């Protein structure tokens, strides 16, 4: 009887502790790209059925993953499978938050090509775009965030930005651009998953259920669409061009080589 009560109170204490001291790391690049408010709205909805109100910290890409893996924080907001699975103390929620694709952003239609003679910009910490640059022998320079990238694009310091399909359209307003071309690069998409530290294994099933319900109801899509439509708030215009088809996918080994 004593043993049963001890297990009950330990479980109760762990749940209460998680509810009051649960911190999610968000990659700095993701916070720039999606906006801190949107990210917090999304994860507050995900954790609400679990009676957990998360705290948030915004760290550089690799350092943040390492600190969550070491148990300093409780969860990683979102990572691609190939990256998150390299950290053995992290557990992946099976249902993805979103499926991302790589896209080009250009201010002139003729520059929306994967041309080795052009100059491209990528955002620091976005490993898949770095892998694309290396695999296609493109001339790419990395900038600290999306705002810097769009300002550089406006000043014609590069021909195009290589980003993902959730790239922050809201930053376009801050850049002063009035119009931008977008061209999707087909070949593969990348599922973005939420990860938790293994000490929270009991949360795996409830989080899977919560994310599945939010996706089925369309609530996650609504939040992501709000991000995608922000450029229209300053009367900006996005022109979508026909996609580019890659002949081969980005190699997982190349991504891991860049990550390490």
Q: What is the pLDDT of residues 171-180, one digit of tens each?
A: 677 777 888 8
Question: How many independent structural domains does the chain possess?
Answer: 2
How would you write the pLDDT of the chain (260 residues) with one tens digit per residue? 444 444 444 444 444 445 569 999 998 766 665 667 888 999 999 999 999 999 999 988 788 999 999 999 999 999 888 888 889 999 999 999 988 888 999 999 999 999 999 999 998 777 778 888 988 899 999 988 777 888 888 888 899 999 887 765 556 777 778 888 999 987 678 889 999 999 999 999 999 999 999 999 999 988 877 766 666 667 778 899 999 887 777 767 666 665 55
Q: Which domain holds residue 254?
A: 101-189+230-259
149 and 94 in one domain?
no
Of 41, 84, 91, the C-alpha closest to 190 is: 84
105 and 70 in one domain?
no
196 and 71 in one domain?
yes
Count of residues making up the chain: 260
pTM: 0.80
CB atoms within 10 A of CB 38: 19
Provide the strand spans (E) within the chain. Answer: 23-27, 55-59, 75-80, 90-92, 98-106, 119-123, 139-143, 160-164, 179-197, 237-245
């Amino acid at each position: 009887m004593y043993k049963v009560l001890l297990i009950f109170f330990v479980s109760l204490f762990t749940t209460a502790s998680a509810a009051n001291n649960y911190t999610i790391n968000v990659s700095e690049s993701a916070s720039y790209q999606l906006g801190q408010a949107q990210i917090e709205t999304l994860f507050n909805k995900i954790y609400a059925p679990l009676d957990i109100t998360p705290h948030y910290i915004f760290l550089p890409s690799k350092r943040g993953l390492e600190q969550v893996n070491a148990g300093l924080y409780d969860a990683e907001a979102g990572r691609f499978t190939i990256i998150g699975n390299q950290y053995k103390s992290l557990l992946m929620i099976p249902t993805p938050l979103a499926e991302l694709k790589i896209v080009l952003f250009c201010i002139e239609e003729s520059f929306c090509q994967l041309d080795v003679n052009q100059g491209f910009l990528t955002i620091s910490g976005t490993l898949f775009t770095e892998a694309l640059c290396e695999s296609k022998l493109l001339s790419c320079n990395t900038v600290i965030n999306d705002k810097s990238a769009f300002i550089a694009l406006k000043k014609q310091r590069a021909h195009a930005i290589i980003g993902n399909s959730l790239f922050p359209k809201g930053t376009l307003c801050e850049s002063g651009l009035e119009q931008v071309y977008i061209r999707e690069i087909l070949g593969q998409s990348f599922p973005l998953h939420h990860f938790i530290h293994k000490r929270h294994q009991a949360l795996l099933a409830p989080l899977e259920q919560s994310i599945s319900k939010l996706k089925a109801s369309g609530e996650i899509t609504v939040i992501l669409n709000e991000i995608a439509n922000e450029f229209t708030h300053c009367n900006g215009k996005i022109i979508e061009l026909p996609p580019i088809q890659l002949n081969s996918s980005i190699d997982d080994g190349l991504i891991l080589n860049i990550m390490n």
